[in-house]
Amino acid sequence: MLNRCWITEFFKHCFFLISFMLASLQINAESFSEIRMSSENIKIIIDNNKAYVHVSFNYSGQFEIPNTIAFPETYWYFLDNFKVYFNNSILKTKKVKAPLGRVFIINNDSYPSIYSFSFPPDKSIYNNAIVTYSYKLKCHIPSNKDLYDNKENFTGKYIEYILKTGAPWKDTIGSIHAEIIFSNNKCEDITNFTDGYVGKCINSRTWVLDKKDIEPTKNIRLLLKDSKCKL
């Protein structure tokens, strides 16, 4: 999920206010933004041990000034081949790691690094951004803190997509559609974490999630059963 941020003169590449009393870098979102995210369409293909992600963001409202954007990278995955397109033009991106012993804070969640880039001014009323990347799936060993939508306790590959960082755009997000397609696995082999949004299998290979007029307070968090992941 894309997060819109302040730009300060202190850091030319991004938008941080640093507290030297705390081990965090706070990213301040412009809640007064006049840009609304009208839809977010997420497609994730799971092929063997990799996830291939394609996300299309549609916006209503004019981008009158350059807008610096942050896309988070979580503790679970390093993003490979990260690319961003704005109205069909590819943008320059920069990976920014938090200094040693610090983290980035976006909407009260912490991240070790982010990708930053800028949407150029555009007088169009409707704009589109596309983000693509991939990551290698990792095994997740259940702990006592994990809660699932069933009582089965198994290990597996962890699948995640961050939605919460998109909350600061104007109003609610018009619609979110997420589709996860399994090339070799079956949809029945996944379970939802209860602290994430719960979707459903529409066939043996496809999991979907649909939300309307939403200010996201959760993420997509799934566990794909894999016997190779040992307890």
Residue-range domains of the chain with CATH: 3-225 (2.60.40.3680)
Check if the beta carbon of residue 191 is closer than 8 Å to that of residue 230.
no
Q: Which residue numbers in the chain have pLDDT < 50?
A: 4-24, 26-32
- Pair of tokens at residue 14: 């991004």
Rounded to whole angstroms, the Cα distance separating 204 from 49 reads 18
| pLDDT at res. 69 | 86
Is 188 in a helix, a strand, or coil? helix
| pLDDT tens digits, one per residue of 41-66 | 999 999 988 999 999 999 998 887 77
Decide: residue 125, CB within 10 A, 0-12 exposed, 13-18 middle, 19+ buried: exposed
Decide: residue 9, CB within 10 A, 0-12 exposed, 13-18 middle, 19+ buried: exposed
Q: How far is CA 184 from CA 135, 166, 191, in A?
A: 17, 31, 17
| pLDDT tens digits, one per residue of 77-112 | 899 999 999 999 999 999 999 999 899 888 788 999
Rounded to whole angstroms, the Cα distance separating 222 from 99 reads 30
Check if the beta carbon of residue 196 is closer than 8 Å to that of residue 221.
yes
Q: Which residues contact 132 (CB under 8 A, 6 or more apart)?
A: 52, 53, 54, 55, 81, 82, 83
β-strand partners of 130: 56, 85
- Specify the pTM: 0.84
| pLDDT at res. 12 | 33
Rounded to whole angstroms, the Cα distance separating 103 from 129 reads 26
- Pair of tokens at residue 136: 């290698």
Q: Measured at the alpha carbon of residue 23, what is the angle toward residues 118 and 144, in degrees to the nearest 5? A: 100
